[in-house]
């Protein structure tokens, strides 16, 4: 069956994507706003608000919210990103109305009690501390700062102790109205759903939600680049390198995905074979496309012994340079097959499929059939990958983050010099 996109009179968009044969459904209500829309004083508020709405909403307590869903065989969750905030319910067939009602309460009628807020600030403070204590998490906060500087995407989604502590019930209520306004909301359901039932439920839940001007759309982040390094007594050093690339709306998006796949997307990738299999430098090493609507980057992560950090950095830079210069036909074909497999496998999971539909609508105001996406992947040529490669190196510098023993801290400089010393 074909997925459909409809729009309520107030601008709420509704995606219905039935999956015949399923006895379960996935419902995602996604707001096209997140941490990227926060000014410095409100850093972390989108994530804090996501926590707070689960403390009580409508006529339900925090316990009631989860019990009413779980008693019907379902589960409920939420996630805050830089460009969107998502509320998700998995349910048995027939659970759509209940899931929609609960999510609507969370978005529209949260209690936002001052005593709950005081307690939740402590919880989020522990979450911030936990992330700082986890080196393979914290190093990615460092690379965000190195890559995007003072732009909101350069700050942690969790915010800081100071900005979280500054939030008040009144301020969070205003932030909620801006974040979850009708014109930036997508209701997306997959699995055992019917369009008439979904449209009726969406209209009841969100049909009278006002469109609020809210916050101004931030400018696309400009790649800053430069080093971030912190010494810690760790058994392993953590390295992340980033090069400026393109966003999800860019013509080179799929070329970037293919470049990342060939470079470090799996066990047959260049980085895995060279750094791990041939040299034994790293157990974990991979490359990835870190993309937003209008900007993005190519990322590389490696975990290695401190004594191997500089050499690992040089290998990473060398493999980027080689791939910019040439990609062979077999690699290109393999990367295309892997990328299509990832996309199609995700579509076999109802929640991933619901999120994918909402993401397409928020980015492009339309849905893409799987065959269209596969055609986009298949259309990428070696020349497209080469053009993308030139974009990666055009700025003449990288963003680097290193966390580990002092002997590893020169790895960022080694990556940058290896890649750009001839420029």
How far, in Å, CA of 115 to CA of 239, rounded? Answer: 41
Mean pLDDT for 218-228 is 91
Helix (H) or strand (E) holding 412: helix 411-420
How far, in Å, CA of 19 to CA of 193, rounded? Answer: 8
Per-residue tokens: 327: 């990609």
CA 78, 79, 80, 81 torsion-angle sign: negative
Residue 220 pLDDT class (50, 70, 90 cuts) = confident
Query: Cβ contacts of residue 216 below 8 Å, gap of 6+?
Result: none
Identify the pLDDT of residue 423: 47
Mean pLDDT for 65-87 is 98
How far, in Å, CA of 417 to CA of 396, rounded? Answer: 10
Residue 213 pLDDT class (50, 70, 90 cuts) = low
Residue 126: Cβ-neighbour burial (10 angstroms; 0-12, 13-18, 19+): exposed
Q: Give the tens place of pLDDT for each residue, 281-298.
A: 999 999 999 999 999 999
Rounded to the nearest 5°, which phi and psi values hold at 101? -65, -40
Domains and CATH numbers, the chain: 4-206 (3.30.830.10), 226-420 (3.30.830.10)
CA 343, 349, 350, 355 torsion-angle sign: negative
Q: Give the tens place of pLDDT for each residue, 375-408.
A: 999 999 999 999 999 999 999 999 999 999 999 9
Query: Cβ contacts of residue 344 below 8 Å, gap of 6+?
Result: 370
Query: Is the pLDDT confidence value at 277 over 70?
Result: yes
How far, in Å, CA of 250 to CA of 135, rounded? Answer: 32
CA 339 to chain centre: 17
Identify the pLDDT of residue 214: 56
Is 35 in contact with 50 (CB distance < 8 Å)? Answer: no
Q: Rounded mean pLDDT of the chain?
A: 96
Q: Which of 160-174, 214-228, 288-302, 332-346 has the lowest mean pLDDT?
A: 214-228
Question: Residue 189 has what DSSP assignment?
Answer: E
Question: Residue 260 has what DSSP assignment?
Answer: H
Query: Is the pLDDT confidence value at 201 over 50?
Result: yes
Ordered alpha helix ranges (H), 275-328: 309-325
Query: Is the pLDDT confidence value at 29 over 70?
Result: yes
Per-residue tokens: 97: 């109305």
Residue 361 pLDDT class (50, 70, 90 cuts) = very high
Query: Is the pLDDT confidence value at 422 over 60?
Result: no
> How far from each other are the two terminal CA atoms of the chain, in whole angstroms?
53
Query: Is the pLDDT confidence value at 10 over 90?
Result: yes
φ/ψ region of 262 (left if φ > 0, alpha if ψ in -120 to 50, else beta) reads alpha
Task: Express as a percent the part of the chain with pLDDT over 90.
Answer: 95
**73-104 b/e (C-beta count within 10 Å ≥ 16 → b):** ebebebbbbbbbbbbbbbbeeebbebbbbbbb
Identify the pLDDT of residue 346: 94
Among all chains, which residue has been given the structure tokens 């065989």?
Answer: 73
Query: Is the pLDDT confidence value at 215 over 90?
Result: no
As a whole number of Å, the CA-based R_g of the chain is: 22
Query: Is the pLDDT confidence value at 274 over 50?
Result: yes
pTM of the complete model: 0.95
Pairing of strands 185-191, 13-18: parallel
Identify the pLDDT of residue 232: 96
How far, in Å, CA of 133 to CA of 234, rounded? Answer: 11
Rounded to the nearest 10 degrees, what angle do helices 309-325 and 411-420 cross at? 30
How far, in Å, CA of 414 to CA of 312, rounded? Answer: 9
Query: Is the pLDDT confidence value at 91 over 80?
Result: yes
Mean pLDDT for 288-309 is 97
Identify the pLDDT of residue 216: 65
Query: Is the pLDDT confidence value at 197 over 50?
Result: yes
């Amino acid at each position: 069956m074909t997925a459909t996109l409809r729009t309520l009179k107030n601008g709420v968009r509704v995606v219905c994507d039935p999956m015949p044969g399923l006895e379960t459904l996935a419902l995602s209500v996604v707001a096209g706003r997140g941490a990227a829309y926060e000014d410095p004083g409100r850093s972390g508020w989108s994530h804090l608000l996501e926590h707070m709405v689960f403390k009580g909403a409508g006529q339900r307590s925090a316990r009631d919210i989860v019990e009413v869903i779980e008693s019907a065989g379902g589960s409920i969750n939420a996630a805050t990103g830089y460009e969107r905030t998502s509320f998700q319910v998995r349910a048995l067939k027939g659970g759509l109305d209940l899931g929609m009602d609960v999510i609507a309460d969370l978005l529209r009628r949260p209690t936002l009690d001052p005593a709950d807020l005081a307690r939740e600030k402590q919880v989020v403070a522990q979450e911030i501390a936990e992330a700082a204590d986890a080196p393979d998490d914290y190093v990615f906060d460092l690379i965000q700062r190195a890559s995007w500087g003072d732009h909101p995407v350069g700050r942690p989604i969790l915010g800081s102790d100071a900005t979280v502590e500054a939030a008040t019930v009144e301020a969070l209520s205003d932030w909620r109205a801006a974040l979850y306004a009708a014109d930036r909301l997508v209701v997306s359901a997959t699995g055992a759903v019917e369009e008439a039932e979904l449209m009726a439920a969406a209209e009841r839940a969100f049909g009278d939600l006002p469109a609020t001007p809210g916050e101004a759309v931030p400018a696309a982040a400009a790649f800053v680049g430069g080093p971030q390094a912190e010494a810690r007594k760790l058994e392993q050093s953590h390295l992340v390198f980033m090069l400026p690339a393109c966003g999800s709306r860019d013509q080179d998006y799929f070329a970037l995905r293919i470049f990342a796949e060939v470079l470090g997307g799996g066990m047959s990738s260049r980085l895995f074979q060279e750094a791990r299999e041939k040299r034994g430098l790293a157990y974990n090493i991979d490359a990835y496309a870190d993309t937003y609507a209008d900007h993005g980057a190519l990322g590389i992560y490696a975990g290695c012994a401190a004594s191997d950090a500089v050499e690992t950095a040089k290998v990473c830079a060398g493999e980027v340079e080689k791939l910019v210069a040439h990609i062979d036909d077999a690699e290109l074909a393999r990367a295309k097959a892997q990328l299509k497999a990832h996309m199609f496998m995700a579509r076999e999971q109802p929640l991933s499929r619901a999120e994918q539909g909402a993401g397409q609508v928020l980015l492009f105001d339309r849905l893409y059939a799987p065959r269209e996406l596969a055609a986009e992947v298949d259309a990428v040529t070696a020349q497209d990958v080469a053009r993308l490669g030139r974009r990666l190196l055009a700025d003449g510098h990288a963003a680097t983050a290193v966390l580990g023993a002092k002997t590893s801290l020169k790895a960022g400089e080694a990556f940058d010099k290896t890649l750009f010393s001839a420029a």
